[in-house]
Amino acid sequence: MTATLRAGSRAYRIHPVAGLASARLPYSLRIVLENLVRHGAPADQVEAVAGWKPRGARTGAVDLYPARVFLHDTNGVPALVDLAAMRDALAALGGDPARVNPAVPAELVVDHSIIADVFGRPDALARNAELEYERNGERYRFLRWGQASLRNFTVVPPGKGIMHQVNVEYLARVVMVQDGTAFPDICLGTDSHTTMVNGLGVLGWGIGGIEAESSMLGQSVSIPLPDVVGVRLHGELPVTATATDLVLTVTELLRGHGVVGKIVEFHGPGVVTLPVTDRVTISNMSPEFGSTAALFPVDEETIRYLRFTGRDDEHVDLVEAYAREQGLWHDPDAPPEYTADLDLDLSTVVPSIAGPRRPQDRVPLDAAKAAFRASAPPALRVRLAGTGHEIGHGAVAIAAITSCTNTSNPSVMVAAALLAKKAVERGLRTKPWVKTTLSPGSRVVMDYFNEAGLVPFLEELGFHLSGFGCMTCIGASGPLIDEVSRAVSESGLSVAAVLSGNRNFEGRIQPEVGMNYLASPPLVVAYAIAGTMDVDLTTEPLGTGSDGRPVYLREVWPAPEEVQRIVAGVIKPSMFTRAYADVFDGDDRWQQLDAPGSGTFSWDPGSTYVRRPPYLDGMSREPDRLHDILDARVLVKLGDFVTTDHISPAGAILPDSPAGRYLAGLGVPRGRLNTYASRRGNHDVMMRGTFANPRLRNEVAPGTEGGLTRDFLDGGRITSVYDAARAYREAGVATVVLAGEGYGAGSSRDWAAKGPALLGVKAVIARSYERIHRSNLVGMGVLPLEFLPGQGAAELGLTGRERITILGLGSLGEGPLPPTLAVTADDVTFETRLRLDTAREVAYYRHGGVMPYVLRMLLS
C-alpha cells in the first residue's frame, strides 16, 4: 500500500507504516519496517517487526535492502577487486560480465591512504599528498577504471576529507528519492564508523566488505531482529566538559551495560540541547561501545543542520515532512518502548581521556597520572641521541588532532586552536620529541580556522596541516622522530600517543608506540606541550612561560563563550557549499590518471597493489557437497578481545615481516613498502600479513609476540604463521583458530576473514564474536562456532597442539539446522554452538562464501 506525501512544491509516493505498528515502536525499527514493506518482504518478517516486543524473545531474521552502500579506499579497492574478479569468473562460466554491477548507489571516498610522513612544517600537506600518489597510483587508476566501467559507482577522490565527515556534511540524504518514491536513507558501509551518520537520523552501520559486495549486487542483508536500548539524556554539559568527554562517558556506560548486537537510541530533553555535531561524535563511537547502530531521531536541530550545510531547501522540507508523517520525528516527552532503559545526566560528565589500550577505559583527567603509573613499566630514563633531552616511559611521541570523530565537531576544534593561541601567547611550545599532526576530516575545518585567524598559533606549536584523511587514527601515522624511534628499539622505552580518534587498540596507531590515549583536541594540544603522560594536568603546570612562571592548563583553557563566539560568528553555510562544489572532480593528479573503461579489467601480473584474487578459480556452476573437518591443526590460539587489527593489521609493513620480505623480493625498496591498508588489493601481501600484528600473542607459541606459531608437520618448529599455513595447505591439512571473548572486535576489515580463508582456516571456535567479523567469516566460507557458556579453550584444557575434528557438516542446509556441532580435540569431545544465524548464511556457507553464491544466482 502506498500513499501520497506533499512537501514543498512536490508530491511523493511513500509506504506508510503508522497503521502497522504501535506508536511506541523504536524509531530504528520503523525504518526497518518501511524497508520490508517497500520491498515486499514475507508477511512473517513484516509481522515480526510490527509486533516487536521490548522484552520478547528474539527469533528469526529479516532481509534488509540498503538504500546505498558506502566504502572507503582500503576496503573499497578489495571490494572492487572482487567485483572485477567476479566479472572474470562470470565470463569464464559463459555469463555476461556486465551483470556484475552495483544495483544500488555505491559511494567511495578515498581517505585511508595518506600517511603522516611529513609533519610540523608548511609543506606537510603538499609533500604527504605527493607521496600518497607516488605510492598509490596503481590503486587510484584501478578506482578510476571502476568509476568508468561500473554503473552506480561514485568516487570522491583523495584530499576531500574523511568518509564519515563527508557523509554527514554532504552525501547523507536522510530521506532518499527514486522514481518519485521517498524512503529512508539506510546507509550500510564497509567501515564500522558508518554509524556516525546515525547522528543525523540516518539508520546505518558497518558491514564487511564481502557483505557490501553482495548488497551492491542487489542482495539483501539478513539481520536478526535486534534488541533496542534507549538512553535518556537530560541536563546540560558542564562548562569544563567537551563533546569528547561526553562520548567517552557514553562509551564506558554502554560497554558496561552490554549492547553488542543491539541498536541504541538516544532520546529525552538532553538530546534537544545537543547540536548535530555532538550527536555525530557520539554515534561515530557506536562500534566502541559495541552496538550495531546508535540513532538520534530527526528533530528541529537536524533540519537546521541540513540547511546550514547547504542541502537543497526542497529536500530539507521533504526530510521534515517525511519524518513527521512516518513517526520518525523526535518527541522528548513520548519515548518509544525499549528493551532496556538507561539514563545519563549530562551535568555529571567530567574531563576525561581513555586508554592506554581500549576506548571504553575512560579515566577522569584528574586521575590520569595515577592510572598511567599503574599501567606503566618500571621507571626508566633515556637520553635522546644528539638532543640533550631526557625522557621516560609515557613520553608523548605522537600528538594528533585527527579522525572524523572529533574533527567533525567545531566546538572542540576551535577549543584546540584557542588553547594553542593562549599557550603561544604565554610562551609555551610543544616538546621536541613529540610528532604533532593536524589531519581534519573536512576542508571546512581549515576554512573556519583561517577565517578566525587561528592557523598561525596551531602551526607555532607544530600542528601544521598534514592531510585530509584518517591518517593517525587508522595507523597511517608515519615514522616517529628518529631519536625517539632509536630510544624505543634500543632502550625498551615505552612511549605514548595522544589522539582525538576513536580507537587506541594495541599496535594500531604506530608499531613502536605501546600506550595510546583518546582525548579531545584541546587535550591533545595540552599533552603535546607537557610532553608526557606522567603529569596531572589538573594540578601540575603544562610548562614554564616566557615570563619564567609556570603555566597551568586552567589558565589557557578557553571559556565556552569564547568558543561559541567563533563557532557562531565564523562558520557559514557558504563554507560547506564551496568545499563540496567540486567534491567528485579531484585535482590534476587524479584527472591525469589513465583509466579507460572496459567490461573486464586488464590485470597487470607485475603489480604489487592490485592482483586478481584466487577465490573463484575453478568455480563450478553448482556447489560441492560439504565435508566434515578431519584432523585439523590449530594455526593460532588467541585470548580475549583479539581485534581485526591483530588479525589483519592496517599499519606499516615492516621490512622483516613475511609481507616485507615478499615485496623486497619483487624489488620494492624499504621506503616504499607502504601499509597493509594500501595493499589490500594484493592477496599475496595480505595473506602474509594475516596474524602478523607485532603485538599478537599466539598461545600455540607461548612466550613469543608477533605473527609466529608452531608447524606441527615439522616437529613443532616455531615459524611465521604464513609459512606454517602454507606447509599445512601443501600437505592437505585443514587448520582452525581457537579464540576467546569478542573475537574480531574493531574495524570491519574484510581481510580479517579473507586472510584466514586463503591461509586454509576452515573454522574458528571462539567464546563470542564481534558482529561484523562473524558475518565476514561466513561470507568467506569459514565456519564460526562458539564454545558453550562456561567453556573455553582453558576450561577444556586445550593447548593448541591437538588435532581437531568437526562432524556434522555434510547435512547443513538439508533440513533443520542443528543448534550445536560436536568437536573432538584429541581425546576431548565437546559441543559448540553453530553460528550460522540465518538461512541466507547457511546458503553462503554451502556455496563456499558470498561471492560464489551471488555468481551462481546470476548464472541461474
248-269 pLDDT tens trace: 999 999 999 999 889 999 999 9
Chain-centre distance for alpha carbon 225: 23
E-state strands within 326-380? 340-345, 352-354, 362-364
Distance (Å, whole) CA 437 – CA 745: 27
Distance (Å, whole) CA 32 – CA 36: 6
Give burial (CB, 10 Å; 0-12/13-18/19+) of 489: exposed
Name the residue type at position 159. G
Distances (CA, A) of 250 to 76, 176, 275, 495: 30, 30, 16, 28
Distance (Å, whole) CA 78 – CA 851: 13
In the predicted model, what is the mean pLDDT of residues 711-722? 97
pLDDT band, residue 718 (cuts 50/70/90): very high
At residue 21, does pLDDT exceed 70?
Answer: yes
All cell numbers assigned to 829:
569431545
Rounded (10°) angle between helices 839-847 and 771-779: 40
**Pairing label, strands 175-178, 181-184:** antiparallel
Q: For the chain, what is the mean pLDDT?
A: 94
3-class state of residue 664 by DSSP: helix
More confident residue, 711 or 776: 711
All cell numbers assigned to 166:
563527508
In the predicted model, what is the mean pLDDT of residues 225-251? 96
Distance (Å, whole) CA 508 – CA 75: 17
pLDDT one-digit tens code per residue, 540-567: 999 999 999 999 999 999 999 999 999 9
At residue 597, does pLDDT exceed 80?
Answer: no
Beta bridge partners of 153: 106
Instruction: Give pTM, 2 decimals.
Output: 0.86
At residue 489, does pLDDT exceed 70?
Answer: yes
Name the residue type at position 520. S
Distance (Å, whole) CA 648 – CA 112: 15
Distance (Å, whole) CA 596 – CA 145: 6
For residues 512-550, one letter each, b for 16 or more C-beta atoms within 10 angstroms of the residue's C-beta and e for the rest, the string is bbbbbbbbbbbbbbbbbbbbbbbbebeeebbbebeeeee
Distances (CA, A) of 613 to 507, 603, 618, 685, 791: 28, 11, 12, 11, 37
At residue 508, does pLDDT exceed 90?
Answer: no
pLDDT one-digit tens code per residue, 349-370: 999 999 999 999 999 999 999 9
In the predicted model, what is the mean pLDDT of residues 145-174? 95
Q: What is the reported pLDDT for 748?
A: 67
Helices (H), 470-627: 482-491, 521-530, 553-556, 560-570, 573-579, 588-591
3-class state of residue 772 by DSSP: helix
Closest-CA residue to 246 (of 205, 274, 276, 287): 274
Distance (Å, whole) CA 339 – CA 28: 13
Distance (Å, whole) CA 34 – CA 39: 9
Name the residue type at position 280. V
All cell numbers assigned to 134:
607516488
What DSSP state is assigned to residue 167? I
Other beta carbons less than 10 A from residue 269's beta carbon? 14
224, 771 in Cβ contact below 8 A?
no
Closest-CA residue to 436 (of 386, 397, 487): 397
Distance (Å, whole) CA 149 – CA 508: 35
Q: Percent of the chain, pLDDT > 70?
A: 100
The three-point CA angle 359-738-683 to 5° equals 80
632, 734 in Cβ contact below 8 A?
yes
**Pairing label, strands 61-64, 221-224:** antiparallel
φ/ψ region of 317 (left if φ > 0, alpha if ψ in -120 to 50, else beta) reads alpha
Other beta carbons less than 10 A from residue 8's beta carbon? 15
At residue 626, does pLDDT exceed 90?
Answer: yes
Q: What is the reported pLDDT for 107?
A: 97
- Torsion over CA of 101, 104, 109 and 113, rounded to 10 degrees? -40
At residue 595, does pLDDT exceed 80?
Answer: no
At residue 525, does pLDDT exceed 90?
Answer: yes
Distance (Å, whole) CA 176 – CA 361: 38
More confident residue, 710 or 149: 710
Distance (Å, whole) CA 581 – CA 52: 43
Other beta carbons less than 10 A from residue 410's beta carbon? 22
Q: Which domains does the chain have, with CATH numbers?
A: 68-348 (3.30.499.10), 352-579 (3.30.499.10), 629-648+690-859 (3.20.19.10)
